[in-house]
């Protein structure tokens, strides 16, 4: 199949959806500039003009609100935040307006908007230019949150997000942009809310999303050499979350490790741990492990960055710790 990079897969989704549907438009800071959005917007301005590729002043709140407003009357806008950090200015239109709109008006109005936030970290950019804030959005009823990890899903989920009648937060990580993979040339969709098993295994279930899937696959390869067979689940959507896929896997392996590029406390990994403990606790052979960022803002110095961002090594350590542990105490039957 044809190979395409992750960022050009997004670019192709935008080209194809804007060509096939006149209600689709792109708005946000830097959509004309590769400095902001990489090559994801390549050729769009030239092809669709300033009316549908709208570069904006630095006004995240109003511009996101404008995208939500346009969606209320049937447009299908994609509003891009070239760094998720900047999206915090737009919490009102996202959380108070877009997420609640359909419910608070008894289903009489919908908001088919895509809110695209880019995680852009590393490179000593530090605290306000490096945040992975997906869990904030996944907490809110009324928002779908997708986080692709492959070029195939990057395109397919963008298309699904645009076609969805409700607000979708599309989050990608620039560390994925140069990854190449199979991408069909036609328009296709990847279902929102469905995860996928990236590698079958029997010893431990490793759940992750977005860039952490790359680190998870590396970790599973390292562990394979040591005879540990890891099952890797790529969530693709963190809200709605594919619970059944996780449960099926944990029932088989009895062990769960979650790798997340976000913070630990109240985060995505905590939620997955909770739903597994709540629903299939008896299937667990050992405590659940989380591999996440420490609860610390992103540092600048590369010396600190090296210990800040979780990677395959951290995942390997977590899995080994899990496997070396004793049988979980709740599984030891009393003999008296």
Measure the CA–CA gap between 156 and 150, rounded to whole angstroms: 10
Residue 305 CB coordination number (10 Å): 18
Between β-strands 3-5 and 180-182, what pairing exists: parallel, antiparallel or unpaired?
A: antiparallel
Q: How far is the CB of 103 from other proteins (least distance, A)?
A: 5
Helix (H) or strand (E) holding 213: helix 211-224
Which of 3, 104, 200, 224 forms a contact with other proteins (CB under 8 A)? Answer: 104
Residue 248 CB coordination number (10 Å): 16
Q: How far is the CB of 14 from other proteins (least distance, A)?
A: 16
Measure the CA–CA gap between 76 and 67, rounded to whole angstroms: 8
CA dihedral 217, 220, 222, 225 (to 10 degrees): -140
Q: How far is the CB of 104 from other proteins (least distance, A)?
A: 5
Adjacent-strand bridge partners of 78: 26, 114
Q: Kindly write out the interface string for residues 2-31 of this chain, putting x where it contacts other proteins by CB under 8 A and - elsewhere.
A: -----------------------x------
Measure the CA–CA gap between 206 and 290, rounded to whole angstroms: 10
Q: Which region among 57-65, 245-253, 255-263, 324-332 touches other proteins (by CB under 8 A)?
A: 57-65
Q: Kindly write out the interface string for residues 299-318 of this chain, putting x where it contacts other proteins by CB under 8 A and - elsewhere.
A: --------------------
Q: How far is the CB of 164 from other proteins (least distance, A)?
A: 9
Helix (H) or strand (E) holding 25: strand 24-28
Touching other proteins, residues 232-261 (CB under 8 A): 239-240
Clarify whether 185 is annotated catalytic: no
Q: How far is the CB of 192 from other proteins (least distance, A)?
A: 8
* 12, 60, 97, 305: the active-site residue: 60
Clarify whether 314 is annotated catalytic: no
Which of 32, 45, 55, 61 forms a contact with other proteins (CB under 8 A)? Answer: 61
Q: Is 169 exposed, middle or buried (0-12, 13-18, 19+ CB in 10 A)?
A: buried
Question: In the complex with other proteins, which residue's Cβ is closer, 83 or 239?
Answer: 239
Measure the CA–CA gap between 12 and 186, rounded to whole angstroms: 9
Question: In the complex with other proteins, which residue's Cβ is closer, 101 or 175?
Answer: 101
Residue 302 CB coordination number (10 Å): 11
Under rule CB under 8 A, residue 154 binds other proteins: no
Under rule CB under 8 A, residue 91 binds other proteins: no
Residue 323 CB coordination number (10 Å): 15
Residues that bind other proteins (CB under 8 A): 25, 51-52, 54, 56-57, 59, 61-75, 77, 92-93, 96-97, 101-109, 141-144, 166, 239-240
Residues serving a catalytic function are: 60, 129
């Amino acid at each position: 199949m044809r190979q395409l990079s992750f960022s050009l897969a997004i670019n192709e989704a935008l080209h194809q959806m804007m060509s096939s549907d006149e209600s689709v438009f792109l708005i946000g800071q830097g959509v004309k500039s590769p400095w902001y959005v990489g090559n994801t917007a390549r050729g769009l301005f030239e092809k669709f003009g300033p009316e549908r590729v709208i570069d904006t002043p630095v006004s995240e709140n109003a511009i996101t609100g404008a995208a939500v407003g346009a969606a209320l009357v049937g447009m299908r806008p994609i509003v891009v935040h070239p760094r998720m950090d900047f999206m915090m200015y737009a919490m009102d239109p996202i959380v108070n307006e877009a997420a609640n709109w359909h419910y608070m008006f008894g289903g009489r109005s919908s908001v088919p908007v895509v809110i695209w936030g880019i995680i852009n970290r590393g490179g000593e950019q530090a605290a306000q230019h490096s945040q992975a804030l997906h869990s904030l959005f996944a907490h809110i009823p009324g928002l779908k949150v997708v986080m692709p990890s492959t070029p195939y899903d990057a395109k397919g989920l963008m298309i699904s997000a645009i076609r969805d009648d409700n607000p979708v937060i599309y989050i990608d990580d620039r560390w994925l942009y140069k990854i190449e993979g199979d991408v069909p040339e036609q328009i296709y969709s990847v279902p929102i809310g469905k995860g996928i098993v990236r590698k079958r295994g029997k010893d431990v279930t490793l759940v992750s999303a977005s860039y952490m899937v790359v680190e998870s696959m590396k970790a599973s390869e390292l562990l394979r050499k040591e005879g540990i067979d890891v099952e890797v689940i790529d969530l693709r959507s963190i809200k709605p979350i594919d619970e059944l896929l996780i449960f099926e896997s944990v029932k088989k392996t009895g062990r769960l490790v979650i790798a997340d590029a976000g913070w630990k406390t109240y985060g995505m990994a905590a939620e997955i741990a909770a739903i597994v403990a709540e629903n299939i606790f008896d299937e667990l052979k050992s405590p659940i492990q989380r591999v996440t960022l420490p609860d610390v803002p992103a540092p600048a110095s590369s010396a600190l960055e090296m210990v800040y961002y979780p990677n395959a090594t951290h995942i390997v350590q977590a899995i080994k710790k899990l496997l070396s542990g004793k049988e979980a105490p709740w599984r030891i039957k009393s003999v008296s």
